[in-house]
Amino acid sequence: TQFGVGVPTPPPPQSTAEAAGGDEDGSSGTGAWASWNRLRCLCEHAPNLGVSLELGADLPDDEAELERWLGEPLRAVVTPAVAYLTNKRGYPTLSRRHQAALARLLQHKPRLLVSGRADAHSEGLGAHVQYLRYLVSQRLAPSQQERYEAPYYDFLQAPLQPLQDNLESQTYETFEKDPVKYERYERAVYLYLCQRHQPGGEPAVVMVVGAGRGPLVAATLRASAASGRRVRAFAVEKNPNAVVTLRGRCATEAGWDAVTVVPGDMREWEAPVLADLLVSELLGSWGDNELSPECLDGAQRYLKPGGASIPTDYTSYVAPLSSSRLWNEVKHFKDLAHFETQYVVKVHNAYPMCAPQPCFVFTHPSDARTVAEIGAIDNSRVAQLSFDVPLGGELHGFIGYFHSTLWDDGSEAVHISTEPSTESVGMFSWFPLFIPLRTPVLVPEGGRVEAAFWRNASRHRVWYEWALTEPQPSPIHNPNGRSYHIGL
């Protein structure tokens, strides 16, 4: 059974005593959100408890007050008849601000209700319902990217284990449809060739490590043709099914006669020549969480002194997240291990509580070249981050992004990013990462969230640990990788 709790926004007027005392928890929305949150906590965050949000005649001055409800289980939006204006023809209409607020809330597909007296209009409340239907019909049709992403909204997926598992053809096919990623890679290789090599000179030796079914190889060949610089390409791939596709492309596609297919692990292959450039797409949703550092460290043994890497660097980002939906999805498993696992998810029913901050940074190539030097590289990291949260809320975990520089020749830089301020619009190869907390924590208005994140590495695996320190300490999640790790 589902239960909807009616919540007015703005809340009813306070008494003088309430206005003087405020909320004990210090959170904002002294009647509405704080009261809803108290009820939710009393019900142990029951997943069948939802919000019926009433948009009153006066909306909150702070737009973030409404944004915060995007992280709550929104079941319905109620528009009382008194909130409507009357247009020139005598029919009900909503203010532009109400229309904008309703359009934002409609992203979560709540039920739309009208409340009030039946005599609010000569045609009754039916006139209001007809107007709401008109507003819904005027919404823009979803883009191709939105249609692709919609089935994955708030659907938890374990990150890929590219070294332990061989990807299926369907997974490759999905990634290869990305309209942005390979255009950016092609541009990066083009800039590299123009900066480092001369037309008519010796071919640049380009090694595509983790070549998959060849989209990066094809991008490299297009960049070669566009720049007028020749390349000698090696496609290194351990997945035997992808190797079959690569060999088929060499036999049938124009220009692929300059490509040598290498079946095997990039960390173990003994290259016949040294490379001018390493090209890879080993990034995960949090940048380094699919073992790009470990893979590229092993591959740079066959990079020339002064050789280059695309990408040249990548940085993980993280921000506090309020999402009752995602937290309850993890709670549904009823065990500790799932609260100590990170998830790839197209975050939808959520409220990022503030801007993300950089966490872990990796650059390539390093100065290490010998086996001993490469073996001594330490890819462990630790970050202690502090976030100022303007508007209080329930903290359910963190959301992770990445930003990567593919190439920067001094005059032009090519990036790919899922971090909101620099996001590569239209790129869908990576969804954000959800990092859950075992227990939700209330953050007061104007409060601070402090957390520590660790990236740990051993000879055979990599794992992450995280812990909250403010506004109250939490246990360290996933100590020693007891619940989740990535195998080397």
CA 232 and chain centroid, separation: 35
Residues 30, 11: Cα–Cα separation, whole Å? 8
**Candidate list 54, 237, 290, 465, residue with the active-site label:** 290
Residues 283, 401: Cα–Cα separation, whole Å? 11
Contact 236, 211 (CB under 8 A): yes
How large is the greatest C-alpha to C-alpha distance in the chain, in angstroms? 85
Residues 301, 7: Cα–Cα separation, whole Å? 61
Q: Would you call 465 a catalytic residue per the annotation? A: no
Name residues whose C-beta falls within 8 Å of residue 472's C-beta, 6 or more positions apart in sequence. 441
Residues 206, 342: Cα–Cα separation, whole Å? 34
For 431, other C-beta atoms within 10 Å of its C-beta total 19
Task: Write phi, then psi, for 476 (nearest 5 degrees).
Answer: -70, 125
Residues 127, 86: Cα–Cα separation, whole Å? 11
Contact 115, 78 (CB under 8 A): yes
Dump the DSSP string for 384-448.
EEEEEESS-EEEEEEEEEEEEEEEE-SS-EEEEE-SGGG--TT--S---EEEEEEEEEEE-TTEE
Amino acid residing at 453: F
Long-range contacts, stretch 247-255, CB < 8 angstroms, 24+ apart? 249/213, 249/214, 249/217, 249/218, 255/221, 255/225
Which uninterrupted H or E stretch holds 373? helix 371-375
Helix (H, G, I), strand (E, B) or coil at 478: coil
Paired tokens of 386: 């502090």
Residues 153, 28: Cα–Cα separation, whole Å? 28
Which 8-state DSSP code applies to residue 249? H
Contact 282, 210 (CB under 8 A): yes
Strand order through the sheet with 486-487 = 381-389, 447-457, 461-470, 486-487
Contact 432, 323 (CB under 8 A): no
Tokens 């173990």 — which residue?
268
**Candidate list 54, 72, 237, 281, residue with the active-site label:** 281
Q: Would you call 183 a catalytic residue per the annotation? A: no
Instruction: Report the catalytic residues.
Output: 281, 290
